[in-house]
Amino acid sequence: MPTTAIPTISLPDGETVAALGQGTWHMGESAGKRAQEIAALRAGLDLGMSLIDTAEMYAGGVAEEIVGEAFAGRRDEIFIVSKVLPENATRRGTIAACERSLKRLQTDRIDLYLLHWRGGPALADTLAAFATLIKDGKIRRWGVSNFDTDDMEELWGLDGDGCATNQVLYNLSRRSIEYDLVPACRKRRIPIMAYSPIEQGRLLRHAALKDIATRHNATPAQIALAWLLRQDGTIVIPKSATLARIRENRDSVGIQLDDADIAALDRAFPSPKAPRPLEML
Ligand code: NDP
């Protein structure tokens, strides 16, 4: 059977990225797993999952080192997303953090650099640092993570057009962002980057998901990913260090959910009817 191509998503500056990428949280936490993690990331790239999400926080920087090692010599094939910790996100701290990340990633530029979540430093200072990093060619563009609607409004008040994404918790069991955050970002053509798309595995035990998976001769993880991939302007970044699961996640792209599937999923995982604060993991 021919493999369905991974769809692409346009960022506000016109760059296109794979809608299905790879996460790296918890990679690098155990030296004994390093070779397996590197092999999984490379296999994912070979299958087209070229957007790689990492952060200075993950394993204290070791996840970034793993990304650097996995893609040494293949830099131009990947789109690197990394993140600065809020406690580092001052004007000078952001630049220093980015330079440390670049070293660990063995590259001269990060394609998309995010503020991991809101913290103490003034947002205007973080944005000033992002502007300097862009001017110096160290990052290509910037975005945010774990920003609720009011945070986005504040951001847009400071810099209307610069933000390239908001990376937030989004999966079938975490739909509260559909009430206001998703419409607000969509209005500005800012893609959502959905983290923990299978709720770190906890979603997979759900009966509704199992039923639909059986109907499609698929797995619950594939259905959960296929559902997210149907959402407009949504980039999905599952993490796996297991080769078989990398292939399984990749194959979610070929699954076409029909109206009956969507109705069953909406019954099992209703969209919110009122605003709720953004959830985080
Ligand atoms: P995910 O929902 O991607 O789940 C990852 C877990 O599920 C791992 O334990 C993995 O195990 C397992 N898994 C992966 N695929 C399958 C499958 N097909 N069947 C069964 N189990 C599977 O959770 P994450 O929290 O890792 O989220 C994805 C990425 O999003 C992160 O890695 C990180 O890059 C980003 N993130 C960002 C956050 C932020 O604050 N900005 C917060 C959380 C995540 P194994 O590896 O052993 O296969």
Residue with tokens 């990749």, as numbered in its chain: 250
pLDDT at 281: 93
| Banded model confidence at residue 33, pLDDT cuts 50, 70, 90 | very high
What is the structure's pLDDT at 3? 85
Percent of the chain clearing pLDDT 90 (strictly above): 98
Tell me the best of 33, 199, 240, 255 to mutate to test the pocket of ligand 1, counting ligand atoms within 8 Å of each CB and taking the most.
Answer: 240
Judge whether residue 276 has pLDDT over 80.
Answer: yes
Question: Measuring from atom 6 of ligand 1, which residue has the nearest CA?
Answer: 200
Where helices occur in 136-279 by DSSP H, the ranges are 149-158, 181-187, 207-215, 220-230, 243-251, 259-268
Question: Among residues 262, 207, 196, 268, which one has the least CA distance to residue 231?
Answer: 262
**Which segments of 153-209 are extended strands (E)?**
163-169, 192-195
Distance 44 CA to ligand 1 centre (A): 14
CB of 213 shorter than 6 A to ligand 1? no
Sign, CA dihedral 201-186-182-280, equals positive
Across the chain, mean pLDDT equals 97
Between the alpha carbon of residue 165 and those of residues 9, 45, 58, 125, 177, the distances in Å are 11, 21, 20, 19, 14
Q: What is the pLDDT of residue 1?
A: 52
pLDDT-derived band at 2, boundaries 50, 70, 90: low
pLDDT of residue 168: 98
pLDDT at 147 over 70: yes
Question: β-strands 79-84, 8-10: how paired?
Answer: unpaired
- DSSP string computed for 223-249: HHHHHHHHSTTEEE------HHHHHHH
Probe ligand 1: pick from 34, 116, 168, 198, max atoms within 8 Å of CB?
Answer: 198
Calculate how far, in angstroms, residue 246's C-alpha sits from the geometric centre of ligand 1: 11
pLDDT tens digits along 104-143: 999 999 999 999 999 999 999 999 999 999 999 999 999 9
Nearest to 115, CA basis, from 55, 174, 184, 31: 55
Helix (H) or strand (E) holding 113: strand 112-115
The pLDDT of residue 161: 79
pLDDT in tens, 222-255: 999 999 999 999 999 999 999 999 999 999 999 9
For residues 274-281, average pLDDT? 94
- Mean pLDDT value across residues 15-24: 98
For the CA of 25, the nearest atom of ligand 1? 32
The span from the CA of 78 to the CA of 75, in Å, is 6
The pLDDT of residue 160: 65
Tens of pLDDT along 175-190? 999 999 999 999 999 9
Predicted TM-score (pTM) of the model is 0.98
- Decide if pLDDT at 58 tops 60: yes
90 CB near ligand 1 (under 6 Å): no
Percent of the chain scored above 70 by pLDDT?
99
Place of tokens 């690098």: 28
165 three-state secondary structure? strand
DSSP state of 274: S
Q: Which residue has the tokens 């944005």?
A: 127
DSSP-assigned beta bridge partners for residue 234: 192
197 in contact with ligand 1, CB cutoff 6 A: yes
Span from the CA of 134 to the centroid of ligand 1 (angstroms): 29
Average pLDDT over residues 42-71: 98
**Are 102 and 109 contacting, i.e. CB atoms less than 8 angstroms apart?**
yes
Question: For residue 96, what pLDDT band results from cuts at 50, 70 and 90?
Answer: very high
Give yes or no for a contact between 146 and 117, defined as CB atoms under 8 angstroms apart.
Answer: yes
Known catalytic residue at 58: yes
Whole-number Å distance, alpha carbon 205 to ligand 1 midpoint, is 15
Residues 73-91 have pLDDT tens digits of: 999 999 999 999 999 999 9
* Per-residue confidence (pLDDT) for residue 206, from 0 to 100: 96
